[in-house]
Amino acid sequence: MSKRNGESSDPLRALPGVDLVLQSPAAAPWLERLPRERVTDLVREAIGDLRESLIADASQTPEDPLRAVAARVDTLVQSLSDSSLRPVINASGVILHTNLGRAPLGQPAVEAVRSIAGGYCNLEYDVEQGRRGRRDVHCGSLLERLLGAPALVVNNNAAAIFLVLHELARDGEVIVSRGELVEIGDGFRIPDILEASQARLREVGSTNRTNLDDYRDALGERTRALLRIHPSNFKQVGFTGRPAIEQLVALAKSASLPLIEDLGSGCLTDHLAEGIEGEPPVARSIKAGVSLVTFSGDKLLGGPQAGIIAGDAGLVARVRRNPLFRALRVGKLTVAALEATLRSYVAGREDEIPALRLMRAPANVLRSRAHRLAQRLAEHGISGCSVVDGESLLGGGSTPMQRVPSPLVAVEGRPGQTAAHLESGLRSHDPAVVARIEKNRVLLDLRTVPEAQEDELVAAVIHATRPRQTGA
Ligand SMILES: *Cc1c(COP(=O)(O)O)cnc(C)c1O
């Protein structure tokens, strides 16, 4: 909305030159953060962007072109100098939130990463012998102790399944129940992994029922393995059925074929498995005779992103020799975090693992924290906050159906403010707060908010309920 002279002058002539922008007061903070050549490039880019938008639509000529360019450079400078990956406050109550990085690491794992990250380490060096070692050793013996079988660590569970299938079944067929051909999320589908591994999928049974004979009837010359998948992120109810794992083990043994089980979550303890409906502990599958199991390191296990392959020693060694192992192996930071997490299990100190601790956080503690938060918000003039009964979710593509009762703080915001507006205001705070909306109220679940973040959470709610919010 400009045409300042009322005349149809060339709008491109209103564009500031590079030097003019660089000499404007707006440039000082840019030059503090980035070298002059980089800033010059960004200024050029910003002027170029404005030029293009003017060519496309001259009526968009800004009132103050210099300011418009400076604002664009501000954004560019910020995107280059501020961290893109940054902490958020997870007030959603989803304990294993895939979009929020899944399991938070425990203190020992954080310390381990800190001590390793900045320097050299014995990742693949045998210090005693003074020669090359193997990166497998650091987590291998701990996993073997916990699972009762040799194990291998790769980048994530998708990589684990891929590698196992590529090694054991790439020239043949894998038998899978139709009821288990799941999409885990973000487009990750088991059939796609199979295809990428060059194994052919042989679907058996129906969506809701598959019996042992369905598997037996599909056995043939080209069968290389049976694959069982824990359908972790959905639940079938009603007329459903599938063979017990022991039955599949017996069938696979009689056909001299490996049985592979994708467990999804790495549930390492029996008592934890008891508390979670339908969650099979890893050791149980191994004890039952499954040839190879695969599971994630950052779901119920509570460690870093990783995929673990465990089971029959000969098969683990075969998978280890597959040339693609090299492409899927983990780095030293993952080894450090996973080793420390596994040590917490070995030592029986599961409370060091945040995912497990959060799941078991006592309701009375959460309730008094919730009341305290509601009261603090009220003291800041934010009315209409109340403590309501709700649920936290285990989440994380592991067992999202699993709910844990949890007291929540319902925030109504200022009069007339919609829940959606309040929620987006919480996200625009730094650090951003991720909350849930239910029945047109914003709900804050303190189960996933460490006490140390409560002050920031209060500040974020104040920010989000302020009458005149700036920004989009
Ligand atoms: C989560 C999940 C995966 C994928 O694991 P990532 O570690 O995210 O690669 C595969 N299979 C099942 C059953 C899962 O639940």
What is the 108 CA–ligand 1 centroid distance (Å)?
Answer: 25
Of 359, 157, 335, nearest to 263 by C-alpha is: 157
What pLDDT sits at residue 185? 62
| pTM attached to this predicted model | 0.91
- Residue type (1 letter), 471: G
pLDDT in tens, the chain (472 residues): 444 444 456 778 889 999 999 999 999 999 999 999 999 999 999 999 999 999 998 887 888 999 999 999 999 999 999 999 999 999 999 999 999 999 999 999 999 999 999 999 999 999 999 999 999 999 999 999 999 999 999 999 999 999 999 999 999 999 999 888 876 666 677 888 888 899 999 999 877 788 999 999 999 999 999 999 987 655 666 666 789 999 999 999 999 999 999 998 888 887 776 667 667 789 999 999 999 999 999 999 999 999 999 999 999 999 999 999 999 999 999 999 999 999 999 999 999 999 999 999 999 999 999 999 999 999 999 978 999 999 998 886 555 567 889 999 999 888 889 999 999 999 999 999 999 999 889 999 999 999 999 999 999 999 999 876 444 4
pLDDT recorded at residue 400:
52
Which pLDDT value is given to residue 274? 66
Q: Is the CB of 280 under 6 A from ligand 1?
A: no
Q: Is the CB of 102 inside a 6 Å radius of any atom of ligand 1?
A: no
- C-alpha 158/C-alpha 397 separation (Å) is 12
Those residues whose C-beta lies under 8 Å from the C-beta of residue 283, and which sit 6 or more positions away, are 146, 147, 148, 268, 270
Instruction: Report the nearest-CA residue for atom 3 of ligand 1.
Output: 264
Q: Is the CB of 350 under 6 A from ligand 1?
A: no
Tell me the CA–centroid distance for residue 467 and ligand 1, in Å: 43
Question: Is the CB of 307 inside a 6 Å radius of any atom of ligand 1?
Answer: yes
- Closest residue (by CA) to atom 5 of ligand 1? 157
Burial 21-44 (b: 16+ CB within 10 A, else e): bbebebbeebeeebeeebbbebbe
DSSP class of residue 209 equals B
Q: What is the pLDDT of residue 234?
A: 56
Please tell me the residue having the least CA distance from ligand 1 atom 10: 264
Atom from ligand 1 closest to the CA of residue 296: 7
The Cα–Cα gap between 338 and 327 comes to 19
Residue 345's closest CA among 262, 281, 280? 281
Q: What is the pLDDT of residue 3?
A: 45
Does the beta carbon of 229 sit less than 6 angstroms from any atom of ligand 1?
A: yes
Q: Hey, what amino acid is at 445?
A: D
CA–CA separation, 152 and 130 (whole Å): 24
Output the CA–CA distances (angstroms, integers) from residue 272 to 185, 268, 300, in the order listed: 24, 8, 9
User: How many A from CA of 59 to the centre of ligand 1?
Assistant: 51
> Residue 264 C-alpha to ligand 1 middle, in angstroms?
5
Separation CA 310–CA 294 (nearest Å): 7
Query: What is the predicted pLDDT for the residue at 440?
Result: 87
Query: What pLDDT does residue 230 have?
Result: 85
